Amino acid sequence: MAQFFVRCIVYIGCMILSWYALGALNFEKMLRKDHVVQAQLLYFMMVMALAYLCGSFLLAFMYHSI
């Protein structure tokens, strides 16, 4: 049960950090005009993918180094 909470905290923390980090990029220059919903969906998917990759790396590093 404790491992579940650790995993949740790591993934949520990585999601917040990836959201913050992707805020530094200027996506408006890459996207087409009048496609706001698609741009928001793409941004959300990028945040989730980056958070999953970073969280998986941290968890693997944490559990395999013990």
What confidence tens digit (pLDDT) does each residue in 11-58 have? 999 999 999 999 998 888 888 888 889 999 999 999 999 999 999 999
Residue 65 has pLDDT above 80, yes or no: no
- Total domains, the chain: 1
Q: What is the pTM of this model?
A: 0.84
Which among 46, 61, 45 has a CA at the least distance from the CA of 10? 61
pLDDT of residue 15: 97
Q: Which domain covers residue 21, as residue numbers?
A: 2-64
Amino acid at 25: L
Helices (H) and strands (E) in the chain — how many of each?
2, 0
pLDDT of residue 66: 60
